[in-house]
């Protein structure tokens, strides 16, 4: 659906850019071009294309000024594929690792999303207010949010985040998995809006998976890990039969009120411009007439001057396809670097002789575009300098959040082993004594084993086992028993398997007993 909406928007945008009334106020007459490839709109009194060519130069100019030609929006296949794919890239999720629900009857459920904070308690404290609420449609594995809204201020008031920026499915065992746009911080009026994050919904060990009755979902509770200090709990209740169909919003014709001073009104009366000599709006790359403010390395506020169709004051612009560090609301290290990048961009723009916007995508609140400074792409320049990343959400796990770094390492485990190692090791640097290090070290052991680097793999395995990760204890114990990756030491093997068994592992006992002679296996106990 995202792709369809994009194409419709671009088509309508194109039509709107060219359509208009005749100078005398009448509607143009629609006809087909000589080659039959496009529509031609002519105002009253105009002749056909052939006769127009026979008139004088002045008359020809007048006819051309009154013609409006509409062309289909056309992109090269490479550009179109890039546009369509990039929109949903931040929502990419591999569902093939899950058994998705089947034969679940249509239902709509009420949901509320509350914040859980971990500042004072490891288990977290649930705040008694709703970050978001609305309804969820469930059909088989498909999960769609309808009549839903965030209540976090700023950009979150745009309902399209629930409509277009969720990619969630229901698993066979009743969990929600996937990715969604998520606003973890509230934004008050006058504060700089924050972009959403895109956390991954996993089969969280604290979640209460959906319960079913007669193949119909009843209720559920899902924990969502977002940041070290806070996450969310999604409550699904009040499920009913059938799918909710949202009503189409009514089209409201907006009439702009024109306010003039007495001086301006007098000026307009004495200075009338003929329609034929009025400057037409331009659809070319707009020139920035003034940089009002640089809020972050990748976020600007600018003015665009007439005659461009996007001309306006105080336009928010985000650099396309890059992520610069946050300069205002983050951990100290990211803010320090973010301010450095912001100051560099401010000076770069202030010294520039030409600043243009290219490859523009317009949203309800801003423009997303390449910023061309004196003929060079500012985004590419920042990436080459190490001042920005092409990976969305890079800087938070790099500077601030060990948990997010671990999650990134998990998500990339099979897709990109090298980047998975990068983020897992980064999590250890950020928080050397963190509670997630048991998992990080175990995953690193597996990654290095896959790369054939046995020494590093065993070092991480021993570290993970020492930190209390049960799977690491089981594997290390087994390695000592058989001596495949370490020198054989059955006492060490039994020691680590006993530790795992004491933590509830039945597999550990099975591994140990299977290593004994057959005659001793039946009576074996750890």
Give the pLDDT score at 186: 86
Q: Which helix (H) or strand (E) holds 473?
A: helix 470-482
- CATH 1.25.40.10 intervals, the chain: 395-521
- CATH 2.40.50.90 intervals, the chain: 284-385
Q: How confident is the model at residue 458 (pLDDT cuts 50, 70, 90)?
A: very high
Q: Which helix (H) or strand (E) holds 356?
A: strand 355-362
Q: Which pair of structure tokens corresponds to residue 453?
A: 């680097």
Res. 278: pLDDT tops 80: no
Res. 41: pLDDT tops 70: no
| DSSP for residue 95 | G
Q: What is the mean pLDDT of residues 143-151?
A: 89
Q: What is the mean pLDDT of residues 303-317?
A: 88
- CATH 2.40.160 intervals, the chain: 101-241
Query: Which residues are registered as beta bridge partners of 135?
Result: 110, 146
Predicted confidence (pLDDT) per residue in 198-209, tens digit? 999 999 999 999
As a whole-number percent, the residues of the chain with pLDDT over 70 amount to: 76
Q: What is the mean pLDDT of residues 45-63?
A: 42
* CATH class of the 395-521 domain in this structure: mainly alpha
DSSP letter string, 414-434: TT-HHHHHHHHHHHHHH-TT-
Give the pLDDT score at 364: 83
Res. 296: pLDDT tops 90: yes
Q: How confident is the model at residue 282 (pLDDT cuts 50, 70, 90)?
A: very low
Return the closest-CA partner of residue 286 out of 351, 366, 350, 355. 355
284-385: what fold? OB fold (Dihydrolipoamide Acetyltransferase, E2P) (2.40.50)
Architecture of domain 101-241: Beta Barrel (2.40)
CB-based burial, 265-303: b 16+ in 10 Å, e otherwise: eeeeeeeeeeeeeeeeeeeeebebeebeebbbbbbbbbe
Higher pLDDT, 265 or 440: 440
Give the pLDDT score at 442: 95
DSSP letter string, 100-148: B--SPPPEEEEEEEEEEE-SS-SS-EEEEEEEEEEEEEEETTEEEEEEE
Q: How confident is the model at residue 267 (pLDDT cuts 50, 70, 90)?
A: very low
Predicted confidence (pLDDT) per residue in 200-249, tens digit? 999 999 999 998 888 888 889 999 999 888 999 999 988 888 888 765 54
How far apart CA 311 and CA 517 sit, in angstroms, is 84
Q: Where are the beta strands (DSSP E) in 194-308?
A: 200-201, 208-213, 216-224, 230-241, 288-296, 299-304
Are residues 180 and 166 in contact, defined by beta-carbon separation less than 8 angstroms? yes
Q: How confident is the model at residue 469 (pLDDT cuts 50, 70, 90)?
A: very high
Give the pLDDT score at 312: 87
CA dihedral sign, ordered 332, 337, 342, 344: positive
Give the pLDDT score at 327: 93
Give the pLDDT score at 44: 60
How far apart CA 523 and CA 513 sit, in angstroms, is 9
Q: What is the mean pLDDT of residues 144-166?
A: 87
| DSSP for residue 389 | B
Q: How confident is the model at residue 313 (pLDDT cuts 50, 70, 90)?
A: confident
Q: Which helix (H) or strand (E) holds 334?
A: helix 332-350
Return the closest-CA partner of residue 243 out of 353, 169, 147. 147
Give the pLDDT score at 216: 81
């Amino acid at each position: 659906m995202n792709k369809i909406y994009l194409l419709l928007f671009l088509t309508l945008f194109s039509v709107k850019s060219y359509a208009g009334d005749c100078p005398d106020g009448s509607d143009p007459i629609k006809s087909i071009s000589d080659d039959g490839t496009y529509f031609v709109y002519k105002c009253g009194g105009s002749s056909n294309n052939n006769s127009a060519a026979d008139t004088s130069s002045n008359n020809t100019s007048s006819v051309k000024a009154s013609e409006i030609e509409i062309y289909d929006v056309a992109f090269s296949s490479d550009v179109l594929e890039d546009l369509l794919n990039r929109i949903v890239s931040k929502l990419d999720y591999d569902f093939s690792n899950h058994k998705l629900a089947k034969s679940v009857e249509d239902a709509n459920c009420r949901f509320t999303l509350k914040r859980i904070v971990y500042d004072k308690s490891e288990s977290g404290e649930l705040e008694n207010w709703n970050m978001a609420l609305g309804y969820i449609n469930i059909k088989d594995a498909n999960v769609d949010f309808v009549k839903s809204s965030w209540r976090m201020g700023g950009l979150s008031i745009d309902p399209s985040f629930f409509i277009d920026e969720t990619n969630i499915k229901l698993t066979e065992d009743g969990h929600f998995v996937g990715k969604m746009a998520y606003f973890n911080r509230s934004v008050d009026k006058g504060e700089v809006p924050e972009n959403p994050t895109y956390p991954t919904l996993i089969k969280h060990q604290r979640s209460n998976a959906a319960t079913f009755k007669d193949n119909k979902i009843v209720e559920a509770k899902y924990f969502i890990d977002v940041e070290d200090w806070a996450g969310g709990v999604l409550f699904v209740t009040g499920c009913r039969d059938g799918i909710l169909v949202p009503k189409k919003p009514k089209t409201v014709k907006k009439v702009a009120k024109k306010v003039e001073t007495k001086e301006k009104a007098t000026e307009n009366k004495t200075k009338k411009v003929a329609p034929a000599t009025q400057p037409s709006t331009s659809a070319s790359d707009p020139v920035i007439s003034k940089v009002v403010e640089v809020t972050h390395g990748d976020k600007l506020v600018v003015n665009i001057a007439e005659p461009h169709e996007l001309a306006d004051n105080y336009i928010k612009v985000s650099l396309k396809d890059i992520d610069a560090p946050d300069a205002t609301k983050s951990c100290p290290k990211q803010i320090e670097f973010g301010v450095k990048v912001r100051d560099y961009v401010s000076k770069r723009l202030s010294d520039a002789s030409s600043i243009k916007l290219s490859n523009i995508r317009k949203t309800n609140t801003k423009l997303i575009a390449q910023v061309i400074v004196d003929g060079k792409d500012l985004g590419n320049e920042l990436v080459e300098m190490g001042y920005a990343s092409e990976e969305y959400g890079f800087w938070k796990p790099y500077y601030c959040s060990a948990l997010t770094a671990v999650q990134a390492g998990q998500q990339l485990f099979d897709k990109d082993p090298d980047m998975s190692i990068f983020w897992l090791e980064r999590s250890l640097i950020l928080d050397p004594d963190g509670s997630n290090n048991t998992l990080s070290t175990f995953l690193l052991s597996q990654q290095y084993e896959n790369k054939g680097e046995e020494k590093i793999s065993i070092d991480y395995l021993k570290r993970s086992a020492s930190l209390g990760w049960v799977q690491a204890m089981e594997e290390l114990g087994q390695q000592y028993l058989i001596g495949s990756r370490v020198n054989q030491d059955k006492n060490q093997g039994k020691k680590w398997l006993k530790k795992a068994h004491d933590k509830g592992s039945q597999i550990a006992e099975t591994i140990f007993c299977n290593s004994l002679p057959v005659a001793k296996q039946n009576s074996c106990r750890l």
